[in-house]
Amino acid sequence: MTAQTAEHLIFQGETLRLCTEPLSHLLKTQALPTEIAPGGSLLWRGYCGTWSIEGDRLYLKKLETQNNELEFVELPFESFFPGYPDGVFAHWFTGELRCPRGECMEFVNVGFPSVYEQDLFISVDKGIVTGERVVQNQFNPLRATKEYMQLVEHRHKLKK
């Protein structure tokens, strides 16, 4: 079990971590021209998407994967969405996008549930942004040990 590499969301000029996978169901149900192979332990889903909110709409801009050296390598976007090199409108997604911000307060080594100082939730309805809210997360003093914070710092370095 390993913490997963987050997606990226470009929102109001800032690149945020995105701990939601808007593309996952489409990959399961839609026969895209190119398949995405599962990745390593940090990227089970095999891809990392870069999304952006332009105007009030959510777009998928880029797809990347990780090589053996954990470096991001761009996947040919046109092979997945022919004719749309500048991105695709994510009209299939309705729900919330979760973007953790700030320092990691509690690291969880599985999936996306690590706790950060803040969570930005962006509400989306059929690809159109309808609202946003910010949640301040509580600090758990039981995990404020020196050893634990060193582990968190080590994990951060691995992700970079």
Partner 1 sequence: MMQSPYWSWLAWYLIAGAVGIAASVIYLNQDAPENWKKFGDGKLIRNAPLMLVALLTWPLAVYMVLADKLHLPQPGNGYKPKNEFHCQRKHLTKRVTIAEAEAAGKVVDPLHRVPDLPFGHLHQAWEAFTDKRRSTDQLWAFTIPGELDVNTSSRHPKWATPRGAKRGYAVVRWRKVRAEFFYEWD
Contacting positions for partner 1 (CB under 8 A): 19, 25-26, 29-31, 54-55, 57, 59, 81, 83-84, 86-89, 91-96, 98, 106, 108, 113, 115, 119, 121, 123, 126, 133, 135, 137-138, 140
User: Which is nearer to partner 1, 133 or 154 (by Cβ)?
Assistant: 133
Q: Which is nearer to partner 1, 126 or 154 (CB)?
A: 126
In the bound complex, what is the minimum distance in angstroms from residue 69's beta carbon to partner 1?
31
- The residue among 8 and 98 lying less far from partner 1, judged by its C-beta, is 98
Say if residues 121 and 135 touch (Cβ distance below 8 Å): yes
End-to-end CA distance of the chain: 19
Cα separation, 160 vs 156, whole angstroms: 6
Separation of alpha carbons 107 and 68, rounded Å: 24
C-alpha distances in Å from residue 88, one per residue of 51, 92, 143: 9, 11, 41
Helix (H) or strand (E) holding 74, with range, is: strand 72-74
Minimum CB distance to partner 1, residue 94 (Å): 5
Residue whose token pair is 């470096």: 71
Q: Least Å distance between CB 57 and partner 1? A: 7
In the bound state with partner 1, the residue whose beta carbon lies nearer, of 66 and 137, is: 137
